[in-house]
Amino acid sequence: MTQFPNQRRQRAFLSQFSITQLHLKNPWVVAFFSFSYPGFGHLMQHRYVVAIILILWETFINRMANVNLGILYTLLGEFDKAKEVLNERWLILYVAIYMFGIWDGYRSTIDQNKQYVLADREDATMPTITMGSWDMNYLDKKKPWVALVWSALFPGLGHLYLHNVIFGFFIFIYTVGICYLGNILLGIEYSMWGDFVKAKEVLNMQWVLYFPSIYLFIIFDSYVTAVEQNKLFEKEMSHYLRKKYQNPRFKTPI
């Protein structure tokens, strides 16, 4: 059910738990994040169901095929050990879904950009506030650096600040799981004490190698999302003032 059923396209949708919006995105950036971690490109597009399916599939199939360990040993130059740990039966299943995530992220970004341009030219109406029994959500100005700092402290917090509750809650729980399985926090504790040998012993690298992709993506996406939500707020205000206060006989420069 759309918030404005009489218009052909929407620029944004507000629910109690998230702000879904169309904005121009670089298809290559989306493809890159889909390459670094299947599902992340779709998170950038706010396609949460597809994104969660791809992320959970990546977690399962990567673990079964030991892809991260194979990457680690390859980077260390231990190619024979990389061959030993890789499970070829699962690895073949990994490739198809991995390539699909990259291709679909790139393709759908181009389509979404076209939809945004058309909606912007139609001057589509934008929602400003929604309320329900669980929560309330509204357009307002956010500080991108605040979203970045909270995301840097722990993935998911920046998106909760931006009121993307679905995204923020999922990535928060997912990151907690990765930290637990990889013993990342324990490794950080030993590193802070200067016991680097013990830190290396406790780390489970199969899970640890997920963390850099998650961490960098969440910081980047929270900052970009804050910037785009601010643009959406300004566009809604401009739309309202033009409709309510601008003289209808005013001749625009173009």
Domain range annotation of the chain: 12-241
Q: Is residue 141's pLDDT more than 50?
A: yes
| pLDDT class of 6 with cuts at 50, 70, 90 | low
Question: What tens digit of pLDDT does each residue of 58-70 get?
Answer: 999 988 888 888 8
Categorize the per-residue pLDDT at 2 as very low, low, confident or very high, splitting at 50, 70 and 90: very low
What does DSSP assign to residue 129?
E
Question: What is the chain's mean pLDDT, rounded?
Answer: 88
User: What's the predicted TM-score (pTM) here?
Assistant: 0.85
Contact of 9 with 129, CB cutoff 8 Å: no
Contact 51, 39 (CB under 8 A): yes
Residue 4 pLDDT more than 80? no
| Helix, strand, or coil (residue 21) | strand
Q: Label residue 197 exposed, middle or buried (CB < 10 Å: 0-12, 13-18, 19+).
A: exposed
Q: In this predicted model, what pLDDT tens digit does every residue of 21-53 receive, in sequence order?
A: 889 999 999 999 999 999 999 999 999 999 999
Q: Alpha-carbon distance 172 to 176, whole Å?
A: 6
Predicted confidence band of residue 230 (pLDDT cuts 50, 70, 90): very high
Tell me the C-alpha distance between 144 and 34, whole Å: 23
Q: What is the pLDDT of residue 3?
A: 55
Q: Nearest 5°: phi and psi at 66?
A: 55, 40
